[in-house]
Structure 1
Amino acid sequence: MKKLLVILLAVLTVAVFAAPTHLVIFHLNDTHGHVWPYSEYHNPDIGGFARIATLVNKERAVNPNVLFLHAGDVNTGVPESDQLDAIPDFVTLHYMGVDAMALGNHEFDNPLETTFMQQRYAGFPFLSANFVTKDGRQLFKPYIIKNVGGIKVAILGVTTEQTQVLEPLHLNGGKFLNVEETVKKYLPELKKKADIVVVLGHLGYDGKYQPLGVQYTTSDQLAKDVKGIDVVIDGHSHTLMEKAAYINKTIVVQAGEWGKYLGRLDLWVENGKIVDYEWAAIPINMKKYLGKDENGNAQYEYVTEPIPEDPFIKMIADYYYSLGAEELNKVIGETKILLDGERTHVRGGETNLGHLITDALIWKTGADIALQNGGGIRASIQPGKITYRDILTVLPFGNTVYVEELTGKDIMDILNYAVKIPAGKGAWLHVAGVTYKVKDGKPVDVMVNGKPLEMDKLYKVAANNYMASGGDGYSMLKGKKGYDTGFVLADVVKEYIQKLGTIENYDNAPRIMMETK
């Protein structure tokens, strides 16, 4: 009898003092085609899915309680991926063991048939509880529940309402319901079914992407306004957080962009409650520039220990990289100068590359005016030989050229909207064929090819089909008399550069002049 009591006491002691369950959630966001290692200025050979796989697999080897999530925007950004509809990304992520992905706005860059095809290759669910068709049907799962080490984890996917403005081309009348209302709708159901509720959201943190004329839910706002969410894993704003935010008892995290960092959230769970957590964004072979040695060679040191590539994932990635590479690497021209497409420059001013792209539109179509949104320009072209790959990196979206017939009044509506766009927004306008001044926040002295704009005159205006469909808030272009030329914008720029040959210099004179008092 005494022996039985000792055993019972031992069992009770173990039960009382059992360690909490350790759950690890790895997460990525906004990888935008960056399957393979790549280089940035003073930061060579960084990122790459094969290195990320090494870290995830290392943890799986010692801890079975691992989830791996993607917070959206796999599509659009690297030519080898774009040419193959992001199949390299989704196949690789499949073999890396991703559990689920929230649909990002760039998952709607393509027709929905392409998105469904991508999901088949991925083999993991694409989640979006708030995207519905024009007749209110859900095309994608709203959530999944995973049993991890005896802990039931609900993963609810939501997509930024801003997609309605950013990617209207392929929605076919679909719409994005309010994120807060959607989460509130599902929370009671998820609380009954699961221990922990994770919102996997492509929302954006701290209003970084807040557009004009559209209110949309950010991850920090969601956490503040909706009680009962345990974790928000976020994307969209490309925010590299130094530490996890803790808002209204909700952990909010986001891990930068392009696979430069892998987010790792460690949770300790006891009796269905999170009792402790840690979070870090792990650098993927990021480096610190130390300057040049006596021979002029750049010197670097790793921020953390170098991460080897997982050989299996590398093999898959390398196979896809080789497909079509020969065509992408063909030289189509040369530039002696930097053609500036840096994000902060094209979303806050004019650049020679913005001028070149809009000039190419006029050259191809014979339009009076050309328009290009800064958010559609994704990279610079460095001095040297120019390849088709370079063009596709600058213009990765596959947009076609749309020509419309607009009155002078229509053009003033466009300019009145454009001058109110704050620096940093993708809607920032680049133009050709038209010049104007901005005085007291209004466009004045508008000239079309050197002549004053006439309100009743009809003008031929060329833009990409994204803007023509009302993208980036240019709703005044939607539904106007016009036609899609079928010319791919990247191909138009390629042909224009071929015509230019060697670019010794390019027009950088202001077309939009800011008047100061």
Structure 2
Amino acid sequence: MKKLLVLLVALLSIAIFAAPTHLVIFHINDTHGHVWPYGEYHNPDIGGFARIATLVNQERAVNDNVLFLHAGDVNTGVPESDQLDAIPDFVALHYMGVDAMALGNHEFDNPLSTTFMQQRYAGFPFLSANFVTKDGRQLFKPYIIKNVGGVKVAILGVTTEQTQVLEPLHLNGGKFLNVEETVKKYLPELKKKADIVVVLGHLGYGKDDQPLGVKYTTSDQLAKDVKGIDIIIDGHSHTLMNKAAYINKTIVVQAGEWGKYLGRLDLWVENGKIVDYEWAAIPINLKKYLGKDENGHSKYEYVTEPIPEDPFIKMIADYYYSLGAEELNKVVGETKILLDGERAHVRSGDTNLGHLITDALIWKTGADVALQNGGGIRASIQPGPITYRDILTVLPFGNTTYVFEMTGADLMKVLEYAATIPAGKGAWLHVGGMTYKIKDKKPVDVMVNGKPIDLKATYKVAANNYIAGGGDGYKMLKGLKGFDTGFVLADVVKEYIQHLGTIENYDNAPRVVVEK
């Protein structure tokens, strides 16, 4: 009997020690300033870092083998965050226990000194193996290795090569090396040091176009072309995946945008190998709209059980929200003249404010031409100090900046439509970098940067994402080769006004002339 008990204990011990190690990797991406809960059409009070923290902490309470990763683009999107250089985001992420972040393209919206400051507040490493200075130096760690429950996990960060064009302003000659070549360079080293290799990439999933001649690597392409990667945790394309992709024995995941979802990847690892996995994107208090009740109030039901806010992270978020709100009232520039955004004026002709907005788009993106619908300009800026709140009053919709690659013939189709728009309509077009006349409801004498338009030439064109998506009847723009930079239009205008300083005068010469 005693021998039998000893045998049973030995067998039980073997079974216990042979059991696969269970790891959980939580991940988010493209949060873009959405520290706080927010609302969308028929979906109020969703997201928020404090709710994400609740889910992560619930798992940590029962499992020591947890990693938490961010796949990039913390910066740019919510004014209360933008005003504080995303410090609310990074402080909250620090106390949420994030282990590492891949640098996204929007981490280069600011000078590199700001990015380094953000990393100090974050307290976790910003990773990018393929960003180098003009003299070839690495400024950020290429990878880290974490020991999670006895499993060594290498986390290699890479950033989309698109950043070279999307955010050229603060690179100081820095460049982004080819992602595939970079990953191939590090893989042998990581395979020796770690059991599992995770590429934490801000790359984008499933894009097959290469706008503006920028060749860039997508996560699915990387998985297909490079063998030996165990997992790719991705961002950049804001893709909400229904299930994990499994490409060339590589697990590829991405969890939408703005903290609407928390990605959860469960791994079972045995002898340094992944033997099983599960993945899900967990909705953060998303709701289903059920229509109106008898009193006309909207009715909703939660998609999953409602998630409470972690009180500590909520306290941090609330504190910084009040600071960010105060920042909106700080002066960013001054104008000695009225910047005319009156409804009747911006919907029927040129104004100096319309010119300033389109010029700001060109200044920020390096575009040849900029387009802005008059209906998107909602107020004037009076002479005197200019605050960011003033700019948000002019541009209240949160539109982002879209950049196209267009031929002169494509551009003419835009102008042909614009020429038919009667005065008073929101679709009235303001332009930068070009002039033209409207005669008999047709565009004539079209000049781009002082030269006659070339129908066969290719132009870089910037516009707000509303008309880029076909809004206000600009259907000819929808589907053209291009990309959303993520730059909030109001932020672009704010930065341009800061660049200008005191506005003594501004170009008021008509760029669009309607001939009688």
* TM-score (normalised: structure 2): 0.72
Structure 1 SS opposite 2:212: coil
Within 5 Å, give how 1:85-124 maps onto structure 2: 85-124=85-124
User: Counterpart in 2 of 1:480?
Assistant: none
Q: Deviations over 1:194-244 (max 9, x none)?
A: 111100000000016732311111000000111111100000000000110
Cα distance in 1 for partners of 2:268, 2:42 equals 38
Structure 2 SS opposite 1:233: strand
Contact 2:340 2:351 in 1 (8 A): no
Give the drift of 1:131. Answer: 0.6
After the TM superposition, which of the residue ranges 260-269 and 285-294 deviates more from structure 2?
Answer: 285-294
Percent identical residues = 74
Cα distance in 1 for partners of 2:77, 2:398 equals 8
Within the candidate set 496, 501, 511, 1:489 is matched to 496
CA 1:233–1:431 in 2, change beyond 3 Å: closer, same or farther?
same
CA 1:267–1:510 in 2, change beyond 3 Å: closer, same or farther?
farther
Kindly provide the amino acid, as one letter, of the partner of residue 15 in structure 1: I
Kindly provide the amino acid, as one letter, of the partner of residue 359 in structure 1: H
Cα distance in 2 for partners of 1:418, 1:454 equals 9
User: Counterpart in 2 of 1:81?
Assistant: 81
Q: Deviations over 1:284-325 (max 9, x none)?
A: 111111122222221111111111111000000000000141
CA 1:433–1:157 in 2, change beyond 3 Å: closer, same or farther?
closer
Contact 1:435 1:448 in 2 (8 A): yes
Q: Deviations over 1:76-111 (max 9, x none)?
A: 011111111100000000000000000000000111
Cα distance in 2 for partners of 1:510, 1:318 equals 50
Q: Deviations over 1:363-395 (max 9, x none)?
A: 999x9xx96668x99x97899xx8544567767
CA 1:263–1:59 in 2, change beyond 3 Å: closer, same or farther?
same
CA 1:454–1:491 in 2, change beyond 3 Å: closer, same or farther?
same
Q: Deviations over 1:117-170 (max 9, x none)?
A: 000000000000111111111110000001111111100000001111111111
Q: Deviations over 1:8-59 (max 9, x none)?
A: 6633553256321111100000000000011111111111000110110011
CA 1:12–1:203 in 2, change beyond 3 Å: closer, same or farther?
same
How many residues in Structure 1 have an aligned counterpart in Structure 2? 433
User: Counterpart in 2 of 1:25?
Assistant: 25
Please tell me the root mean square deviation across aligned C-alpha atoms, in Å: 4.7
Structure 1 SS opposite 2:140: coil
User: Counterpart in 2 of 1:279?
Assistant: 279
Give the drift of 1:431. Answer: 2.6
Q: Deviations over 1:394-453 (max 9, x none)?
A: 67999xxxxxxxxxxxxxxx9647949xx9xxxxx973473679xxxxxx955249x983
User: Counterpart in 1 of 2:141?
Assistant: 141
Cα distance in 2 for partners of 1:280, 1:233 equals 13
Cα distance in 1 for partners of 2:65, 2:291 equals 43
User: Counterpart in 2 of 1:11?
Assistant: 10
Structure 2 SS opposite 1:212: helix
Contact 1:371 1:431 in 2 (8 A): no
User: Counterpart in 2 of 1:193?
Assistant: 193
Structure 2 SS opposite 1:35: coil
Give the drift of 1:266. Answer: 0.6
Cα distance in 2 for partners of 1:335, 1:69 equals 44
Which runs of 5 or more structure 1 residues have no equivalent in the other structure? 338-350, 399-413, 424-428, 438-443, 456-461, 465-471, 474-485, 500-508, 512-517
User: Counterpart in 2 of 1:360?
Assistant: 356
Structure 2 SS opposite 1:98: coil
Contact 2:341 2:354 in 1 (8 A): no
Within 5 Å, give how 1:399-438 maps onto structure 2: 416=407, 419=410, 431-432=431-432, 434=434
Which runs of 5 or more structure 2 residues have no equivalent in the other structure? 331-337, 380-388, 415-428, 438-442, 455-460, 464-481, 484-492, 507-511
User: Counterpart in 2 of 1:409?
Assistant: none
* TM-score (normalised: structure 1): 0.72
1:173 aligns with 2:169: no
Cα distance in 2 for partners of 1:50, 1:19 equals 34
Contact 2:26 2:263 in 1 (8 A): yes
Within 5 Å, give how 1:349-388 maps onto structure 2: 358-361=354-357, 388=391
Contact 2:377 2:395 in 1 (8 A): no
